[in-house]
Amino acid sequence: MKRITTTADDFGLTGAVNAAVEQAHRAGCLHAASLMVAAPAASEAVRIARANPGLRVGLHLVVIEGPAVLPPGAIPDLVGADGQFPSDQLGLGVNYFFRPAIRRQLEAEIRAQFDAFARTGLTLDHVNAHKHMHLHPTVGAMLLRIGRDYGLRRIRVPAEPPAVMQACGETVGAGAKALFAWTRLLRRQAERAGVSVNDHCFGLAWSGHMTTDRVRRLLDHLPDGDSEVYFHPAARRDAAIARLMPDYEHEAELAALLDPAVCRSVEAVTA
């Protein structure tokens, strides 16, 4: 049995992203969106979500390369004076694991993001993390522990099966295979916490490049089980998108979510 959920990440990042999420949900086959609660256009995203009650909205936890909820003075070891998390994934990973003071600040910020989502009044459909930072065992454990206080029911496990990607014509390297194996830790953490997870996840190898042709190919090889396919759509290329994701094909990803053939295939396997 096959089941699919389509999700848009970075909801609230810019007006262009928000517009794409609304269009893809209303006119295409987008089921869900993950909200960055401290992003510049988060308030607009919340208004769009309220106007589209069928859109399932979750928390896109930001603990790397993005804005924090708490002020810099409350988490001085996490963010710069501008309130932004750095982009150094390795350095952050080491600090989150080994430095108790930073872990305390990280826990406070994660709770603040859950709290900010709760204040929107939206139902928390799911949680995932920007750049998949919840694959870090410290971040994953905190997310699951704190999330219980806010009704957390489901998280994304970014487990992209190498065999499926190979069937789609993708060359799968050692790094992608190692990442797939590493996702088992997060899956076990979620299972112990009683939180549901997807079986498969697609959008990693082609992140930012989920074009219509690629999505059609993927749907032709969709495995049995519960699959999440995530996208980064935008209605146009604005300055923030160009700065943060210069090589992403945001408009092409929106086109994929609006493509009639893609939508027919998605609807055929949507529970």
Tell whether the torsion through CA atoms of 185, 157, 98 and 175 is positive or negative: positive
108, amino acid identity: A
Q: Report pLDDT for 126.
A: 98
Distance CA 44, CA 70 (A): 20
> What pLDDT, in 10s, does the model give residues 259-270?
999 999 999 987
Q: Which residue ranges form the domains of the chain, and what is each CATH number?
A: 2-268 (3.20.20.370)
Q: Report pLDDT for 269.
A: 86
Share of the chain above pLDDT 90, in %: 99
Q: pTM of whole model > 0.85? A: yes
Q: Are 47 and 15 in contact (CB under 8 A)?
A: no
Distance CA 203, CA 201 (A): 7
> What pLDDT, in 10s, does the model give residues 186-232?
999 999 999 999 999 999 999 999 999 999 999 999 999 999 999 99
Distance CA 74, CA 40 (A): 20
Distance CA 30, CA 233 (A): 10
What is the average pLDDT across 226-248?
A: 96
Q: Report pLDDT for 271.
A: 52
Q: Are 158 and 183 in contact (CB under 8 A)?
A: yes
Largest Cα separation within the chain, whole Å, is: 51
What is the average pLDDT across 140-164?
A: 98
What is the average pLDDT across 165-177?
A: 97
Q: Report pLDDT for 83.
A: 97
Residues in the chain: 271
Q: Are 69 and 142 in contact (CB under 8 A)?
A: no
Q: Report pLDDT for 101.
A: 94
- Cα separations in angstroms, 9 against 12, 98, 132, 194: 9, 29, 11, 24
Share of the chain above pLDDT 70, in %: 100
Distance CA 60, CA 57 (A): 9
Q: Report pLDDT for 47.
A: 98
Q: Report pLDDT for 223.
A: 96
Position 150 pLDDT exceeds 60: yes
Distance CA 180, CA 160 (A): 6
Mean pLDDT score of the chain, rounded to an integer?
97
Q: Report pLDDT for 108.
A: 98
| Angle (nearest 5°) at CA 24 between 23 and 30 | 145
Q: Which of 131, 101, 130 is nearest to 113 (CA)?
A: 130
> What pLDDT, in 10s, does the model give residues 87-125?
999 999 999 999 999 999 999 999 999 999 999 999 999
> What pLDDT, in 10s, does the model give residues 34-47?
999 999 999 999 99
- Separate counts of helices (H) and strands (E) for the chain: 11, 8
